[in-house]
Structures are given as C-alpha cells and as structure tokens.
Amino acid sequence: MEEKNLNIRLNTLYFIFYAALAGYYPFLTIYMTERGLSYTEIGIAYAVTSLISVAAQPIWGYITDKYSNKNSILFVTMLFSALIINAFVCINGFGMVVSVMIILTIFQSPIGSILDAYTYEIIEEHRGIQYGRIRLMGSAGYAIFSLFIGILINATNINSSFYTYFILLLLSIFVIKGITFRGKSHNQKLNLKDLKEVLKNVNFIMFLFSVCIMNIALGANGSYISVLIEKTGGNVSSLGMLWFMVAMSELPAFFFGGKVLKKLGEMKVLIFAISIYILRFFLDSISANYQQVMFIQLLQGISFPLFLMASLQYLNKVVPSKMRTSGITLYAAVGGGLGGFIGNIVGGKLLDRISIFKFYQLLSINVVLALIVILILIGRKPHSKTISN
C-alpha cells in the first residue's frame, strides 16, 4: 500500500512540477524580445543564468547530501521559486530581467536534480516503481501545459505564463509535503573527502566533459528554437504546439526506456541518443517551413528520454548512493549550467552574425564532438562503480 501511495504521489508531483516549468522556459525568449532585448542581450541573459546554475546546483546538492533532507530542500526551493516568478510581470529592461532570472535560477535550478535523486532513493527500496514511467508524467505535464499556455498567451499576454507557473508550483509544494519517505542515505552524512574522491574518478570527469559539450548544443537549441520557428513562418501559438508535440513524443521512450537500457546497457543507448541529436540538428538546418521544423522535433521523443535515462543510470554506477544528489546536481550544473552558458552566450553572438540555418549546422557538428568523447570513454576501463560506498 505504501508503494502504491508513493507511486501515485511521485507521478502527480512530476506532472505538476514539469507543467509549471512549461510556464517559464518555452516562452522566455518571447518575453525578452517583447521587453526589447536584442539577441545578444538574450544570449547574455541565458549565459549568466547558466553560469549561476553551475555554482548553485552543486552547492544545493552538497547541502542536501550533507543534511540528508531532500524533502525539506525541495519545499524551500519550490516556495522561493513560486514567489520570485511574479517579479517578471512588473519589470522592464535588460538589467532587471537578468537580475530576476539570476535569483530565480538560484532556487529553481536544483529542483529537478534533487527530485530525481529523491526518486531514485525511493526506487531502491520500492522496486515496483520505475523512474522512466514516473518521468513520462513530467513530459506529459510539460506537453499539455505548453500547448495550453501558448493558447492562453495568444488570448491574453505573456504574463499568463508566469501566473500559471506560480499556481502549479504551489500545488507541487502541497504534494511534496505529503511524501514523508526517508531512505537509507538519510543516516549517511556526507563530507568534503567523499566529494574529492568522486572528482578523482577519470571516467566520471570524462562523462561530465561529454555532457558539457552536448549541452552547448542543447542549451542553444532550447533558447533559440523559437527563432527558427519564427524565421520559418511560425508564431507563439506554433511554439506552444511545438513543445506539446515534443513532450508528448517522449512518453513511449520513457515508458519502455527501462527495458531498452536493461537489454543494451547505458553506453550503447547514449551513442544511439546522441546520434539522433546529430541528425535532428542537421535536419533543422535545412528545414524550409515551420511545419517541417515541428515534425523534425519529434526526434526529441527518442533522443532526450534515452539520453537522460542512460546518463542517470551511468551516474548511479559511478557515484556512491550517499552522494547521489551531489552527483546528479553536478551533472546538471556542468551540462545545463556550464554547457548552457557557453551555448547561450556564443549562440546569441552568432545569431547576430549568421543565419539560424547555419547556426543549426554548427550545433550538429558540436554534438559530433560529444559523441567522440563518449566513444573514447567506452574504450577505457569498465564502467562499474569505482568508488565504494
């Protein structure tokens, strides 16, 4: 009965939390252009917040592992994120927009990683719960509310997205307070020596390097896909439909991903997922209209779920359980943070100089480099857990 209750609450939590994110990320570039920011300024804004997340996520991860209280940390970060989002409604200008984005990033950026670490901790003691099938609820929430918010913005204004985020994140807080699970790691306290041991793991560092390169392209794509949509004839409503299609396409891979990983192993799955990203960005670079762009994005339904699940499984092999939150937040910081920083600041400057189509050709080449690093990593020693618990 306890396992069934946890499963229901986790499914609900992922659905609502990722639905809330649909009120922020998909339409943020549109918001900044409405506030008069240039592409270079938008790139700087994304880059600065990515850099902030590089520092914020590992710090939150270390605090969470040290004090072993994921539930309380999730409550605090969600509450402050819900309150801060409302500031976007009443600000103008580059400086104010970036300032609010920075403050929000400090609290919002670690939530997904801590939630994943908490979920994996629950799964260790409740084997009937599967991460992929829980995470697909997140994609469903993101998909449905991306579409809904896109329509809502067209009918009202961009502020509707922030109000939706606020309401949904408050609901997430309500759900998280109903989960009282405490795992084995609750009594395992972390110290800096443990962190240093993980950072000496060459395979772990190489993997993070590959993730960083990969996220240069992913961060740039996430920030500037709206530009590609607009340049090929689409609008805000098209953008909402795009994210709906993309997120819904992820559901089958999340549902069956566990079986695929069990059969093939995480490294083969990583190679396959990265190869799909290469194909996707190349096809974006030769797209002729926004309908083609939207169809091409369905490849996300294969690449993203498999890449995420294989990455998390690899992390669980090379990082001790008591350091799981630190490992996942470090992964997110180096990937979405540092990689996103490079992708956004370079991407913004490039888009002021080259076409969006040439831009996507460069993204495809960038992902090829990430694949090369993974292939080198595979050629090294076995990828079993090399640091004892």
What is the C-alpha to C-alpha distance for residues 277 and 47, in angstroms, rounded to an integer? 22
| pLDDT number for residue 387 | 43
Question: Per-residue pLDDT tens for 345-375?
Answer: 788 888 888 999 999 999 999 999 999 999 9
Question: Per-residue pLDDT tens for 120-130?
Answer: 888 888 878 88
Mean pLDDT computed over 154-158: 88
Confidence of residue 192 (pLDDT cuts 50, 70, 90): low
What is the C-alpha to C-alpha distance for residues 119 and 117, in angstroms, rounded to an integer? 5
Confidence of residue 191 (pLDDT cuts 50, 70, 90): low
| pLDDT number for residue 68 | 67
186, pLDDT greater than 60: no
Q: Is 163 exposed, middle or buried (0-12, 13-18, 19+ CB in 10 A)?
A: middle
SS (H, E, C) the chain: CHHHHHHHHHHHHHHHHHHHHCCCCCCHHHHHHHCCCCHHHHHHHHHHHHHHHHHHHHHHHHHHHHHCCHHHHHHHHHHHHHHHHHHHHHCCCHHHHHHHHHHHHHHHCCHHHHHHHHHHHHHHHCCCCCHHHHHHHHHHHHHHHHHHHHHHHHHCCCHHHHHHHHHHHHHHHHHHCCCCCCCHHHHCCCCHHHHHHHHCCHHHHHHHHHHHHHHHHHHHHHHHHHHHHHHCCCCHHHHHHHHHHHHHHCHHHHHHHHHHHHHHCHHHHHHHHHHHHHHHHHHHHCCCCHHHHHHHHHHHHHHHHHHHHHHHHHHHHHCCHHHHHHHHHHHHHHHHHHHHHHHHHHHHHHHCCCCHHHHHHHHHHHHHHHHHHHHHHHCCCCCCCCCCC
Mean pLDDT computed over 185-194: 56
Could you tell me if 237 and 152 are in contact, meaning their C-beta atoms sit under 8 angstroms apart?
no
Q: What is the pTM of this model?
A: 0.78
| pLDDT number for residue 1 | 47
| pLDDT number for residue 188 | 54
Q: Which fold has domain 2-182+190-378?
A: Growth Hormone; Chain: A; (1.20.1250)
Confidence of residue 73 (pLDDT cuts 50, 70, 90): very high
Confidence of residue 189 (pLDDT cuts 50, 70, 90): low
368 vs 194: which has the higher pLDDT: 368
**Domain boundaries defined on the chain:** 2-182+190-378
| pLDDT number for residue 386 | 45
381, pLDDT greater than 80: no
Question: Per-residue pLDDT tens for 33-52?
Answer: 899 898 888 888 888 888 88
331, pLDDT greater than 50: yes
What is the C-alpha to C-alpha distance for residues 184 and 194, in angstroms, rounded to an integer? 17
220, pLDDT greater than 90: no
Question: Per-residue pLDDT tens for 233-281?
Answer: 877 666 677 778 888 888 898 888 888 988 999 999 999 999 999 999 9
Mean pLDDT computed over 210-239: 83
Confidence of residue 194 (pLDDT cuts 50, 70, 90): low
